[in-house]
Amino acid sequence: MRIALALLTSVILASSVHAQGAPSGTPPSLRLVHGVNKKKGEITFLVTVTRVVPVVVEEEVIVNGQAQKVTVTKYQTVLEQRFQAINAASSRVITTAGQQLPIDQVWKRVKANTVVAVSDNGAVPAAAYLKALSVDTLVIIPPPAALVPAPPVPAPKPKRLPPVKV
């Protein structure tokens, strides 16, 4: 009996250790609130992402003692800013302790120029991710249908930059 109990305890402990392992699921992303529209029930975020875009640069190279202009394609990192609006009324808003907030509290606490965490898969983020947030940070969980990404954007055309001397 004692052996059986010890085995059972070790199995339970092993499973709890596994449960406390790496957090599962998608981490939430931090978003800057750009504005709120209480009438429409919308929260607008300003999301900044980095993208690498091709640019065409004219360079001067010395060939056989003579300066020649050549055109080369280089890659430049640019920041893109996107405004993204979600419907707060159809989303759940929780604290990092997992407590759901009523909508009137949401409008009181979500203001322009505040940062919130947004779930990217429509589910409550894993506890380890919630623990990594400040206790004052709110977590917005939009319904999964709201998170369908925009269709892929075609590759941008290279833009011409001023010549660079090598």
Binding residues among 90-149 for another protein as defined by CB under 8 A: 90, 113-117, 120-121, 128-129, 131-135, 137, 142-143, 145-146, 148-149
80 sits in which H/E element:
strand 66-87
50 sits near another protein (criterion: CB under 8 A)? yes
| Separation in Å, CA 63 to CA 70, 74, 166 | 11, 21, 12
Q: Which residues pair with 66 in a beta bridge?
A: 63
Residue 123: CB minimum distance to another protein, A = 11
28-50 b/e (C-beta count within 10 Å ≥ 16 → b): beebebbebeeeebebbbeeeee
Residue 4: CB minimum distance to another protein, A = 31
Which parts of this chain interact with another protein (CB under 8 A)? 20-23, 25-32, 42, 46-50, 52-53, 72-87, 90, 113-117, 120-121, 128-129, 131-135, 137, 142-143, 145-146, 148-150, 152
